[in-house]
Amino acid sequence: MDIDIDIAPDVDLHSLFGTAIRASMVTDGELKSHPVGYYFQDIPVDSITGLAAIPYDRSEEFGFFKMDLLTVHILKHFKSKEEMRTLQRKEPNWKLLDDEEVVKTLFHLGKHFDVISKVKPTSIQEIADVFALIRPNKRPLLHKYLENPNFFRTELFTKRDPMDMRKAHAIPYAILIVLQLHLIEQGRI
């Protein structure tokens, strides 16, 4: 099991979760730190590195699950959760997505102007669909999706490969794009 949690960039993880154990992975035969993974269970710790002694790709076999704490830098641009809630209910300027330079700045979508320019999203659901479509396993569905989005949407979010996007991740990421579009239009980023 793999759980992703988005956090603001200035969160001090060690002060909040002092007992969390950093996940590990084997790279070039050495135990290295996983870039964002932590365990909140009593997983064995390597005495030399201080990292989880079981690499993340094997930990489930032993009953452990990793949580990925993902830094979302856009969160630092908001004064409060209420401001974010207000903006996410407000329709953004979807025309901003026609500008490749704007798209280059978007959270996880910066390199996917080709897909955005074909889908031409005008809703949170359609942005979520783009997040699914940029996954390697779902890329071949683009032309079918463009012909009949509602019919192929179910297939977009059917997880057949670990790289496929779950709808539970795609919708919050799409909301972040809406927030980012508001910030861009307001000249705040």
Express each pLDDT in 51-100 by its tens digit: 999 999 999 999 999 998 888 888 889 999 999 999 999 999 999 999 99
Rounded to an integer, what distance in angstroms lies between the CA atom of residue 141 and that of residue 128? Answer: 15
- DSSP helix/strand/coil, 22: strand
Provide the pLDDT for residue 93: 97
40: left (phi over 0), alpha (psi -120 to 50) or beta: alpha
pLDDT at 125 over 70: yes
pLDDT at 143 over 90: yes
Question: What H or E segment, with its residue span, contains residue 59?
Answer: helix 56-59
Rounded to an integer, what distance in angstroms lies between the CA atom of residue 80 and that of residue 179? Answer: 13
Rounded to an integer, what distance in angstroms lies between the CA atom of residue 114 and that of residue 49? Answer: 42
Instruction: Report which of residues 72 and 184 the model is more confident about.
Output: 184
Average pLDDT over residues 4-30: 86
The residue type at 102 = V
Rounded to an integer, what distance in angstroms lies between the CA atom of residue 149 and that of residue 152? Answer: 5
pLDDT at 1 over 70: no
pLDDT at 2 over 70: no
Average pLDDT over residues 160-180: 90
pTM as predicted:
0.75
Residue environment code for 7-17, b if the CB has 16+ CB neighbours within 10 A, otherwise e: eeeeeeeeeee
Average pLDDT, the chain: 92
